[in-house]
Amino acid sequence: MYLLLQIFLLPFRVFQYLYYKIFRIFRRGDHLLFKIPDRFSSYKKTTLVELLSRKEEDETLIDFLYSLDKLSKCSELRKISFIIGRVEFGLSELYNIEMGIKQIKKNGIVTAGFCESGNLKSLYLLSLMDEKYGVENGEFMVLLPSVESFFFGNMLKNLGIQIESFASGSYKSFAEPFQRTAFSEEARENISQLIDSIQSQITTTFKGNSSITNEILQIPILSAEFLISCNFLNSLLDEEDFMENYCNKGYKKIDEKSESEELYKKASLKSVYLWNKLQEFSFFPKRKQIIKILSLKGDILTGKKDDPEIKSGQILAYPLMNMLREIQKDKRVKGLILDLDTGGGSAYASELLHREILKLRKTVKIYSYFQNATASGGYYIATASEKMFSNPYCITGSIGSIMIRPDLKNFYQKIGLTKDRIGFYKFRDIFSEYGKLSPNSKKFLKDEISRVNDLFCKRVCDAKNIKIAKLKPLAEGRIFSGLTFHKKQMIDEISSLLETIQSLKQELNFEKVKIEVEQPIYSLRTFVKDFRVNIKGILSNYLPNYTENGLVQLKSPFFETLYRSIHNIETIL
């Protein structure tokens, strides 16, 4: 049946091939002007929402990476001039783009970059280019990764608020900002090692690509003139000249008397895409198998069983379990990549997803890829996949569990508020924020933390085929960079997202596949809901916000955390 369909479509394919060929004649060029987006979208928009929102946010990271991949394969291109802005995405996206640009250069295409002003990430991208250009009086605000954290310990003590925590290790420092006035010795040591690792990777990249040293990167503002003096920038010119005269020598206007100044012929993305289509064209195409990429970004929560869709900025277990079951039913899907970017969340939700992924692995090959953060519950979920891949800058690890509980009794008394308990039974005080816990309740919570931690460690040991004794020095809440965790053999490979897809294709022994990305849908309903939340948030800064029973809610990030912890006590990974 499939062969008959191909024979029927053959005349249309011949027409399509001729169209590509003829159109290419008028579109041929060897120098492309290409802009790197300042940010990427993490969701798909419906048509109506696209009309109501900014277009420049529509491009996803995977779409952009495939654009770079197409550029690298186009043998007609001799040069690409990149325009770089003030980068707002993370180090993971930066690394993936770096790998794409390196592939372009590896294939013999000259790269040039122009950046008017920007930040460390803008400078990082510029350092990857063969030619680097800036603008007169331009400047880069340089800030290497570091930590400066607020601690509320004294403030809460003065208010009469006490935060109790039950953690599986001294490195699980989630509760420290609410209990202390500074990091504990263990947390400080661990975070310092993480920061040193990431800083070292950044400075090594700069040193390998340019004249920028570690000492220069510690200067807070780098002017274009200074970057010229240290041989980083080739020259200074206006953005208009760079964009309008990018095919000319030195990006300068052609003198009417010297046409030889034009070194290149303008290319377009359309021509590059047509070139790629022609290379991949087949009159009798084979049926493509499907590899899906499932975007998992945000806090890990259980969600609702009747929720029909995954939401932007959250990893909801029940809706995702339904999606995984649908994937299992689709016999065309042979591979799945879990695209993870999360600091963790609910232990129960992580376990639900872990079990569902293991079920799916019986019929589908599953890899996971770590973006900016895949820690705690994120790593828990990833251990269900067959292999784990990461970029070197990812914040990962944090194997362990923690609970926090606020005691607000003294605070209530200071403001003249008391509670009278009726019908309390053994362990009921766990679900109250009024007063200290009984010894029995404390023991129960410690046992619960130990139970969840043991299950987490078992999942990791099973995935990496190691004994608990080997895992212990890497657990107890310690965090690592992706590169360090790979050296500890807790991640299988350091790679880009496209390299991870290629590895999965090779293991499946597929030459060509269709990539389908499952992302949250940003619908009009979500748009209106976000609009209402934003308006409510603005008004709450000026107006009292009353609950249904007439009590004023305390609106601040800290008290919001307390409120959630009181009414939704759950073990956090």
Question: Given a cut of 80, is residue 258 above it in pLDDT?
Answer: no
Q: What is the pLDDT of residue 557?
A: 41
Q: What is the mean pLDDT of residues 523-544?
A: 50
Could you report the per-residue pLDDT of 322-337, keeping only the tens digit for each? 999 999 999 889 999 9
Confidence of residue 310 (pLDDT cuts 50, 70, 90): confident
- Joined together, the tokens standing for residue 329 give 């039913």
Cβ atoms 181, 154 nearer than 8 A: yes
Q: What is the pLDDT of residue 164?
A: 92
Distance, CA of 86 to CA of 134 (rounded, Å): 13
Q: What is the pLDDT of residue 300?
A: 94
- Joined together, the tokens standing for residue 132 give 């680097």
Q: What is the pLDDT of residue 119?
A: 96
Confidence of residue 263 (pLDDT cuts 50, 70, 90): confident
Distance, CA of 94 to CA of 137 (rounded, Å): 25
Could you report the per-residue pLDDT of 62-116, keeping only the tens digit for each? 999 999 999 999 988 999 999 999 999 999 999 999 999 999 999 999 999 999 9
CA-based torsion, 107, 210, 207, 66: positive or negative: negative
Q: What is the pLDDT of residue 167?
A: 92
Question: Given a cut of 60, is residue 555 above it in pLDDT?
Answer: no
Q: Which residues pair with 368 in a beta bridge?
A: 338, 388
Question: Given a cut of 80, is residue 284 above it in pLDDT?
Answer: no
Could you report the per-residue pLDDT of 3-27, keeping only the tens digit for each? 666 666 667 666 666 666 666 666 6
Question: Given a cut of 50, is residue 566 above it in pLDDT?
Answer: no
Which of 151-165, 262-276, 310-324 is predicted least confidently?
A: 262-276
- Joined together, the tokens standing for residue 555 give 């609106």
Q: What is the pLDDT of residue 285?
A: 66
Confidence of residue 262 (pLDDT cuts 50, 70, 90): confident
What is the percentage of the chain residues whose pLDDT exceeds 90?
Answer: 69
Confidence of residue 307 (pLDDT cuts 50, 70, 90): confident
Is 212 or 289 the better-scoring residue by pLDDT? 212
The H or E element that residue 356 is part of is: helix 347-360
Could you report the per-residue pLDDT of 181-206, keeping only the tens digit for each? 999 999 999 999 999 999 999 999 99
Question: Given a cut of 70, is residue 560 above it in pLDDT?
Answer: no
Give the contacts of 88 (CB within 8 A, at least 6 positions apart).
Answer: 38, 39
- Joined together, the tokens standing for residue 120 give 């460390």
Q: What is the pLDDT of residue 252?
A: 86
Q: How long is the chain?
A: 573
Question: Given a cut of 70, is residue 480 above it in pLDDT?
Answer: yes
Which of 50-64, 165-179, 352-366, 474-488 is predicted least confidently?
A: 50-64
Confidence of residue 304 (pLDDT cuts 50, 70, 90): confident
Pairing of the two strands 162-167 and 402-407:
antiparallel
Give the chain's largest Cα–Cα span. Answer: 96
Confidence of residue 253 (pLDDT cuts 50, 70, 90): confident
Give the contacts of 270 (CB within 8 A, at least 6 positions apart).
Answer: 27
How does DSSP assign 562-573, residue by residue? HHHHHHS---B-
Could you report the per-residue pLDDT of 385-408, keeping only the tens digit for each? 999 999 999 999 999 999 999 999
CB burial readout 129-154, b (16+ within 10 A) else e: bebbbbbeebbbebeebeeeeeebee
Q: What is the pLDDT of residue 17?
A: 62
What is the percentage of the chain residues whose pLDDT exceeds 70?
Answer: 81
Could you report the per-residue pLDDT of 131-164, keeping only the tens digit for each? 999 999 999 999 999 999 999 999 999 999 999 9
From 2.60.40.2250, 3.90.226.10, 3.40.1190.20, 3.90.1640.30, which CATH number describes the 27-143+220-280 domain? 3.90.226.10
- Joined together, the tokens standing for residue 313 give 């900025």
Q: Tell me what the pLDDT averaged over the chain comes to.
A: 86
Q: What is the pLDDT of residue 537?
A: 46
Q: Which residues pair with 222 in a beta bridge?
A: 140
Which residue type, as a one-letter code, is found at position 54? R
Give 153-185 as a 3 state SS string: HHHHHHHCCEEEEEECCCCCCCCHHHHCCCCCH
Distance, CA of 295 to CA of 519 (rounded, Å): 5
Q: What is the pLDDT of residue 533?
A: 47
Does residue 274 come out as left (phi exceeding 0), alpha (psi in the -120 to 50 range) or beta?
alpha
Burial of residue 123 (CB within 10 Å: 0-12, 13-18, 19+) is buried
Question: Given a cut of 90, is residue 271 above it in pLDDT?
Answer: no
Confidence of residue 528 (pLDDT cuts 50, 70, 90): low
Distance, CA of 250 to CA of 266 (rounded, Å): 15
Burial of residue 483 (CB within 10 Å: 0-12, 13-18, 19+) is buried
Q: What is the DSSP letter of 44?
A: E
Pairing of the two strands 493-494 and 365-375:
unpaired
Distance, CA of 133 to CA of 496 (rounded, Å): 27
Q: What is the mean pLDDT of residues 491-511?
A: 94
Q: Is 509 helix (H, G, I), strand (E, B) or coil?
A: coil
Confidence of residue 261 (pLDDT cuts 50, 70, 90): low
Confidence of residue 554 (pLDDT cuts 50, 70, 90): very low
Question: Given a cut of 60, is residue 567 above it in pLDDT?
Answer: no
pTM of the model: 0.87
How does DSSP assign 309-355, residue by residue? S--TTEEEHHHHHHHHHHHHH-TTEEEEEEEEEE--BBHHHHHHHHH
Question: Given a cut of 60, is residue 423 above it in pLDDT?
Answer: yes
Distance, CA of 376 to CA of 402 (rounded, Å): 10
Q: What is the pLDDT of residue 273?
A: 82
Q: What is the mean pLDDT of residues 265-271?
A: 86
